Amino acid sequence: MTLRVKVLLLGVLADAAGTHMEEHALKDGSRVSELIEAVVKRHSGLKALVETLPVLNIYVNGRHVDLNHALGDGDEVVIAPPFYEGG
């Protein structure tokens, strides 16, 4: 069985991928870490960027989560680079 998730990429991640929105089909029980792997596999330009960023901000259905978060069918996942304040 599979689950489908909607992925929104923000900032430099969207620039590197060449898109800001896409859907992914994953096996039931998949975690955010597996989704990140699938997104990077689809967009080779993201690999080096994801490896160099100190952190990724990940939100599932508006809630901040970690890489071990289990995904559900129909989830909306936002993947964003770190946010910096100040000048």
Cβ-based burial of 61 (10 A; exposed 0-12, middle 13-18, buried ≥19): exposed
Sign of CA dihedral 14, 20, 26, 29: positive
Does a structural domain hold residue 46? yes
Q: How many domains does the chain have?
A: 1
Pairing of strands 57-60, 76-80: antiparallel
Would the pLDDT of 85 be above 90? Answer: no
Distance from C-alpha of 80 to C-alpha of 71, rounded to nearest angstrom? 17
Residue 43 lies in a domain: yes
The Cα–Cα gap between 19 and 17 comes to: 5
pLDDT score at 29: 94
Q: What is the CATH number of the domain that holds 15?
A: 3.10.20.30
Please report whether residue 85 resides in a domain: no
Q: Is residue 23 part of a domain?
A: yes
Best-predicted range by mean pLDDT among 20-24, 50-54, 80-84? 20-24
Which token pair is 72? Answer: 């559900």
Q: Does residue 86 form part of some domain?
A: no
Domain containing 47 equals: 2-80
Is residue 30 in some structural domain? Answer: yes
The tens digit of pLDDT for each residue in 38-73 reads 999 999 889 999 889 888 999 999 999 999 999 999
